[in-house]
Amino acid sequence: MLIRTGRDGFQHPVSSEITPPAVYQERRRLLQWLATGVSGASLAAWAQREALAQQVPKPGKLPALAAVRSTAPGAVTMEKVTEYKDASSYNNFYEFGTDKSDPAQNAHTLKTRPWTVEVDGLVKKPGKYAIEDLLKLSAQEERIYRLRCVEGWSMVIPWVGYPLARLIEKVEPLGNAKFVEFLTLADPKTMPFVGSRVLDWPYVEGLRMDEAMHPLTLLTFGMYGEVLPNQNGAPVRIVVPWKYGFKSAKSIVKIRFVEQMPKTAWNKAAANEYGFYSNVNPTVDHPRWSQATERRIGEDGLFAKKRKTLMFNGYEAQVGQLYAGLDLKKNY
Amino acid sequence: MALARALLHPAAKPLVFVLSLLPFAWLLYGAITENLGANPAEYLSRATGDWTLRFLCLTLAVTPLRVIAGLPTLQRFRRMLGLFTYFYVVLHFLSYSWFDQGFDFGDIAKDIAKRPFILVGFTSFLLLTPLAATSFNRAVKAMGAKRWQALHRLVYAIPFLAILHFFWMRAGKNDFAEVAVYAAILAVLLGWRLREAITKRRAPAAASLSAAGRPHPRARG
């Protein structure tokens, strides 16, 4: 190749490229200042407390999944992280029941090992990936994203994973691959509600290729520093933080590259309520309720007024350009 | 009959009253101790809606049960159950206006006008209001029994509106199992009344004959 991409192994980053000089110089200055001992003791304590506040405590329920905090723009919100108890007990995962407490109760039957994800469709290198290989395909990052459910509630969740783009680059999509389709496992033996008439199984979700390649689109294996609980989509799921939660398919067994816009599960069930894009958008209401506001789970008390929902769930700076010129009222 | 005597016991009414308040007490306790799950606002809205439907079923079940089981004393409980239906629908509307809309009346008005499912729920709440307001004895006297009864026939519209409200609420998720259960119960309760009305109209003589063994064949609600 004539054009050097920076990923061809011949260019090695130097430390100044990894951390911007301004940042590490500031850090050094602060360290020196602390080391001088001038009010060092109190400052050190203060610094430590800040450091602890930034750290997400591990719930200690499942095997740990090591990760470094992501430096991608928009990847780490400073908002208060939702309690693990709430994030792992208030779920929509209809394969395990339609009530939000059902998945936590029923998903223990899901077998996450052995697990393979098949990549096929319009790619140069289709293949089957064992979950163990997929976990190692790229460095695991911690990302703290807002999650906005189409039902009008939200959470802040520290996910562990890497950009889906890493996998997509590896399988080399063909020129006519316009969309990526995700299929959730549909096993009636371990998923009691597969077979109910609520949705067409398996659960299908999809993204446009540029959405799938966006650095914020995360192939996710864990949360809160541990592997995903079954009810949150173990062992591997997608997280697309600027779209309503149902766009982020769980317990994925197949990733398919296609030319036509995928027929997604909720769109098939109620096209007037759930569009293909389903970007978080406070100005486009759901037919049965307003999307202008949301309730942050575990944080906004019963009597607190609901908070305003942000355009693209607050990720407009990062993803707005993907939809330049697109009528978001029509393409809801 | 032991049951008939138990229904006349002086403690029977207070007991039903306390039992009917239990769901409310339980929700209040859950709200205070923060034991209503991750989304207490949603929990309260749904629970008060569920209890409204349940009390509507109980209220409408009084007359068929009274006639079929031959328990005229059951009638004593109908008004109280009806008022508890209203009590829970008020709580339902209150939790929607408060926890969902933050008592922003402009937003509430817009929401009612914009969303058929809210409109239908609000309509049934409105229709139940005059029934609750005229439930005491003096209101019957003041209005005259005929007019009072005509007004209170409004209650037969409520099951249709309530089920439609519930159906639309669940429609987006294609999840109709629970809706079907309530619809079936209410259909039986209304169906029984319809059949009674038809047989009475077709053959008044035969109907009164067949009902001769029953107490108070005319006191139908």
Could you say which DSSP state residue B98 is in?
I
Partner-chain contact A270 B172, CB within 8 Å: yes
**Listed residue (A216, A241, A230) closest to A311, CA to CA:** A241
Structural domain of A22: 15-52
Q: What local confidence, expressed as pLDDT, does residue A304 receive?
A: 76
On chain B, the residues whose CB falls within 8 A of the CB of A267 are none
Residue A331 lies in a domain: no
The pTM for the full model equals 0.79
On chain B, the residues whose CB falls within 8 A of the CB of A269 are 173-174
Residue A168 lies in a domain: yes
Q: Does B178 touch chain A (CB under 8 A)?
A: no
Between the alpha carbon of residue A89 and those of residues A10, A81, A104, A241, B109, the distances in Å are 47, 15, 5, 20, 34
Partner-chain contact A199 B41, CB within 8 Å: no
Q: What local confidence, expressed as pLDDT, does residue A35 receive?
A: 56
Residue whose entry in the numeric block shows the structure tokens 């019963």: A302
Checking ipTM against 0.95, whether it exceeds it is no
How large is the average pLDDT for residues A322-326? Answer: 95
Query: Closest partner residue to B175 among A86, A98, A289, by Cβ?
Result: A98
Partner-chain contact A101 B37, CB within 8 Å: yes
Residue A218: CATH number of its domain = 3.90.420.10
Number of domains in chain B: 1
Does one domain contain both A98 and A42? no
Residue B135 lies in a domain: yes
Q: What local confidence, expressed as pLDDT, does residue B108 receive?
A: 92
- Per residue in A158-216, pLDDT tens? 999 999 999 999 999 999 999 999 999 999 999 999 988 889 999 999 999 999 999 99
Structural domain of B156: 2-210
Does one domain contain both A48 and A70? no
Residue A227 lies in a domain: yes
Does one domain contain both A23 and A155? no
Query: Closest partner residue to B111 among A270, A287, A290, by Cβ?
Result: A290
A303: pLDDT confidence band, cut at 50, 70 and 90?
confident
Using CA atoms, how far apart are residues A131 and A137, in angstroms rounded to an integer?
A: 10
Residue A60 lies in a domain: no
Between the alpha carbon of residue A54 and those of residues A46, A57, A69, B85, the distances in Å are 13, 9, 11, 49
- Per residue in A23-34, pLDDT tens? 656 666 655 655
Partner-chain contact A288 B115, CB within 8 Å: yes
